[in-house]
Amino acid sequence: MPLSTHRRLAVSATLITALAAGLAPVTAASAAPAAPTAPAGPATPAPDMEGVTAALNDAMAKGAPGAMARFTGPDGVRTRTVGVRDRVTGEAMDTRARFRIGSVSKTFSSVVLLQLVDEGRLELDAPVNRYLPGLLPDDRITVRHLLTHRSGLAEYTDPMFDKTVPGFEAVRNRVFTYQELVDLSLALPRTTEPGAAYKYSNANFVVVGMLIEKATGTPVARQYERRIIKPLKLRHTVYVHPDTRIKGKHVRGYLHPDEEGAPLVDSTNQTVSWAQSAGAVISDPADLNTFTSALMRGSLLSPRMLDAMTTVTPTDTAQTRFYGLGLRRYDLSCGTQVFGHTGTVQGYYTYAFATRDGKRALSAMANTSNRGAVNTALGATLEAAFCGKKPAPTASAPTMRRALPTLPAEADLRERR
């Protein structure tokens, strides 16, 4: 293109832009000096897959038969596995295998409920008793209080699993009603006044399941399928309660007894009826990456509901962990914030997180539980995946990362070890 033609086009573009903004056009002679270009932000770090592998190996060294992680980002998919998914057959850990995701299910339940809020079937700040008359002893407890764990409803699983293996065996094949689980919670002292403080309790999301079923007239399983699983084509995500099996290729879960040196208990087959809408979903790493990425990109919720879901309050004094509406936020050492949930169910620990723009996601799993050190080790996959290799500080270029305290993993279920 001739230079003169190029200049005429550039001036025309300037005039059009100025007129569209309702401003007097600025001529080249009177134009103010251009503002200096803002420096580009730091480049997104490449995932430190060596660090991810080290975290998985650490989880195995601390008692997991195996562990795995799957990272998705702009450069594609990266997976890592260590150990076995079946101690009897010796089959290697496999990222294509399903497992029980525990409390990551709470984010599924929250998405469904927030869609119902958008549809006008529920209100976040309405009393739960408006929709489920007489269920709770306090009309001040709202729908929002359930999603933020600020209702004060007691954690019924604490006494249920006071002795880990006997408690599990007592409920392994049992089928509870929602009402029975609520009654177990209400038989215990309330933990806080409604809205006063964060206190994690599975009872909250049992009531969320009741609200979903009351508002829709259909089982929670149907709502997961219609609103999340089918739209996102999650081919390996299922809710089979009260069936005890994980169909197809799957990871076997192993529960650590409370007694040191006692053999692991294969906890794979169970109803998970003690959790239901608080923790009974089955999935795999690819589907979890798809789910968390789609959620953060706004594919499942309106902007209003996603903003509400990601509005968080601290859950620890270190100000690095937060909770929104059925969603955790972790602030990492490099300044990156990731959103998702942790999960614990007998035999499985899970992490499923994504960045706020949904462009990067990690899912990680270790096939054991009642071993907090394993859960903490598995959590180190987040730093490695989202922050990349930690640069060595020098005199001229000190590290820009925050020094974060080493914190134990957050407990989604009471554990003795």
Residue pair 149/204 in contact (Cβ under 8 Å)? The answer is: yes
293 catalytic? Reply is no
Q: Are 235 and 287 in contact (CB under 8 A)?
A: yes
> Which residues lie closer than 8 Å to 317 by C-beta, 6 or more apart?
none
| Nearest of 159, 160, 144 to residue 207 by alpha carbon | 144
Strand, coil or helix: 180: helix
CA–CA distance, 301 with 155 (Å, rounded to integer)? 29
Candidates 4, 12, 103, 185; catalytic one: 103
Q: How far apart are CA 161 and CA 346, in angstroms?
A: 10
Q: What are phi and psi of 337, to 5 degrees?
A: -105, 135
Q: Would you call the peptide bond into 242 cis, given omega within 30 degrees of 0 as the criterion?
A: yes
Q: Strand pairing partners for 354?
A: 339, 361
For 227, which DSSP code?
Answer: I
Pairing mode of beta strands 328-331, 282-283: unpaired
SS3 state at 311: coil
**Selection from 255, 245, 309 nearest residue 282 by Cα:** 245
Q: What is the token pair recorded at 107?
A: 């984010």
Residues forming a β-bridge with 142: 127
CA dist 355 and 297 (Å) reads 9
For residue 39, the SS3 value is coil
Active site residues: 103
